Structure 1
Amino acid sequence: MTADIPSLGITAELRVALQTLARTPELLLALDFDGTLSPLVDHAEDARPLPRSAAALAAFAALPRTTTALVSGRALASLRLVATPPQRTLLVGSHGAETWLGPDSPAVSLTAEQESALETARAAVARELSRIPGTLAENKPAGVVLHYRLAEEAAARAGVERLMAELAHTPALHLSHGKMVLEISVINANKGQSLDLLRQETGATAIFFAGDDVTDEHAFAALRPGDLGIKVGPGNTQAQFRIAAPASLPDVLELLLAERTAYLSP
């Protein structure tokens, strides 16, 4: 769906969809973190998963024929720090530029051109930090992010426009927008590609994905018949269902967990 569908809780339609999904042979439960498992906060380091959602994620991770994954825009190191994911949970960071599928997963490796482009981007972002009070930079292995949630709106908008104009001349850079952030990366990746990879790696016969940001739309677009996507919060979306806020997610996860546990019980 592309329409701005109204915020919903667990409707009869969603309940049936969750019950059907619970009976898939191999389930992949993939979740965004900020704005989904955790409410959005002013300072990224303060984010934590809501306790009931964290408990449900841990319970899913312990089930057979069920794989859990966090698919986030955060760098992997930051995601591990704030999310404290279950040991068996697969991790995707930096919108797909970083992937952890187990201890043998390689670290991000950049070419000389990418390293140079990244330094250009970081220098440009640093200049905007000095111009615009309330802005923050988040460095990632393959990118840098300008956060402007706490900045004055007009100044932040002007800064984003300057950055986009300046960096448009560096072809190795890929720019995208999120909620009050400008993402700059030297690796062109998105969450839809990440879900495709996770589906292939895990042999999932169906995927549950929940996310809140515009960057999660790539993931919703990658879902197939039999999968289930939930948009958290307002905004146009391709997800089949919507819930109002991260505080609504535990009810959804706990219902799916109960149905999945019953299905897997001998």
Structure 2
Amino acid sequence: MTETAPPTPTESAVALAAALKKLAASERVLLALDFDGTLAPFVDKPKAARALPAATAALEKLERMPNTWVAFVSGRPLSSLEVVTEADDDALLIGSHGVEVRFGRDGVSLDLSDEERATLARLGDVLGALVESIPGTRLEVKPVGFGVHYRELDQDEGPDVVARAYEAAATVSDALTIRDGKDIIEFSVRGADKGDGIERLREYTAATAVLFAGDDVTDEDGFRVLRPEAGDVGIKVGEGDTLAQFRLADEEAIATMLTLLVEARGSRS
């Protein structure tokens, strides 16, 4: 069996440029973008995060183009995503890994059952107690669950926090949806993922081609539903194994890519 050498950086750049050109020529284009670590650098105060100015400028231009939609697809609760994206009333937003959906002015109710609400309350109690016992951790309240952040701890302390969080959550239910992200472990009483969100966006916009970019392991669910054969483009930001066809280094590289996409989409015949 002959092994194929991985593409060189130049070959990858040429391939990405060709894929973006094909995407830009598509009739109806959806840009579905993760926020933290993709458009915006990570910051200590989550509500202070903002997309890089160059990315914001490019997205504003793309949104004004015919048959072109921009959507933000995030693990953040919808209320937080609305703040950091500075979304207007017409924005397309997917929050809480696909659980919350806002298509313009119309939101989607969660409609939690009494059982789900009771489980959510118990989950908050046990994870809250855990966080109080581990200095440097933080509990994030989400619409259908909780996230235990441990970014401020030393790297070798993370696995112990995750293990203890698993043990605590298991005392509440064995049917929780669990996601392990960058310096966070999340537990939810209802399952959905970014792939679900992207598919709903695709249907809503009737997109003929979709670009999705993300940096976290939870974004792999989004890459999984893309259709490269139809012109979809998946871009992994940073390091790590991925299903995406392409990789860019950081948020600045994403901003540059979006600027190039503005030119390509605007000049199509």
TM-score category, normalised to shorter length:
over 0.9
Q: Please state whether the residue corresponding to 1:197 is helix, strand or coil.
A: helix
Describe how 1:59-208 pairs up with structure 2 within 5 A: 59-169=61-171, 170-208=173-211
Instruction: List structure 1 segments (4+ residues) > 4 angstroms apart after TM superposition.
Output: 4-10
Verify: 1:234 aligned to 2:236, yes or no: no
Question: What is the deviation of 1:5?
Answer: 8.1
CA contact (8 A) 1:50 1:247 kept: yes
Question: 1:261 and 1:86, CA in 2 relative to 1: closer, same or farther beyond 3 A?
Answer: farther
Q: TM-score, normalised by structure 1?
A: 0.92
1:158 shift after superposition: 2.0
Task: Please tell me whether the aligned partners of residues 27 and 208 of structure 2 are also in contact (alpha carbons under 8 angstroms).
Answer: yes
CA distance in 2, matches of 1:60, 1:32: 16
The aligned residue for residue 44 of structure 1 is 46
Partner of 1:213: 216
Runs of at least 5 residues in structure 1 that lack an aligned partner in the other structure: none
Question: In 2, distance between residues paired with 1:177 and 1:141?
Answer: 17
Q: 1:183 offset after TM fit, Å?
A: 1.0
Structure 1 pair 174–6 and aligned structure 2 pair: CA distance change class (3 A): farther
Q: How many residues align?
A: 262
User: What is the alpha-carbon distance in structure 2 between the residues aligned to residue 131 and residue 7 of structure 1?
Assistant: 46
Give the Cα–Cα distance (whole angstroms) in 2 for the partners of residues 193 and 263 of structure 1. 30
Question: How far did 1:122 drift?
Answer: 1.0
What do residues 139-175 of structure 1 show as CA deviations (whole Å, max 9, x unaligned)?
1111111110002344442232122123235034211
Contact in 2 for aligned 1:117/1:172 (Cα 8 Å):
no
% same residue? 41
Structure 2, gaps ≥5 residues long:
1-5
User: Would the aligned equivalents of 1:125 and 1:146 in 2 still touch at CA under 8 Å?
Assistant: yes
Q: Is the 8 A contact 1:61 1:86 kept in 2?
A: no
What is the CA-CA distance between 1:22 and the residue it aligns to? 0.3
Inter-CA distance 143–5: structure 2 relative to 1 (3 Å threshold) = farther
Q: Report how far residue 187 of structure 1 moved.
A: 1.4
Give TM-score scaled by structure 2 length: 0.91
1:15 aligns with 2:20: no
Quote the residue 1:29 is aligned against: 31
Distance 1:108 1:88, change over 3 A: same
How far residue 7 of structure 1 moved from its aligned partner, in angstroms, is 7.2
RMSD: 2.1
Distance 2:129 2:23 in 1: 48
Indicate the structure whose relative CO is greater, using CA pairs within 8 Å and at least 6 residues apart.
1
Q: Per the alignment, in what secondary structure is the counterpart of residue 73 of structure 1? A: coil
For 1:11, what is the secondary structure of its paired residue?
helix
